[in-house]
Amino acid sequence: MLKALDAFLTFVHLFIVGFNLFGWIWPKTRRLHFWFAMLTLGCWTILGIWFGLGYCPVTDWQWGVKAQLGEQNLPTSFIKYLADQVTGADINPTLIDVLTLGLFLLAIAISVKLNFFRKKQKG
């Protein structure tokens, strides 16, 4: 059961990351993307006041599951964990954090432009 929950939380993580990065692409999901990104940013910053900057409740839940499965020395970031798993390397966590934040802020900037500053097409 724990392995299934871990797999489910990995899917949830991948969905969140994917939607945060690319949800602005489709006109029908642009508004949802903006609010979803704001929710993520709120977790990272507002919840980060109490739990540490960049806090993600899904990571917290998944790390609890992984601990029960016997995994130890987990990084603070799911992205770092995933990158290490995929590459087999121990990638610098600062590099991962900078890339994660940079790409996320770029996606937010695109979302803001498309949601609030783009002229509507007449048709």
10-residue mean pLDDT profile of the chain (123 residues): values are 98 98 98 98 96 96 98 96 97 97 98 89 61
The domain in which residue 7 lies consists of 2-117
Domain membership flag for residue 122: no
pTM for this predicted structure: 0.91
Sign of CA dihedral 51, 110, 8, 99: negative
Q: Nearest to residue 38, comparing CAs of 24, 52, 59, 26?
A: 24
Domain membership flag for residue 80: yes
Domain membership flag for residue 123: no
Number of domains in the chain: 1
Cα–Cα distances (Å) from 16 to 38, 39, 66, 104, in that order, read 12, 11, 19, 11
Q: Are 43 and 57 in contact (CB under 8 A)?
A: yes
Domain membership flag for residue 28: yes
Give the Cα separation of 89 and 92 in Å (integer): 9
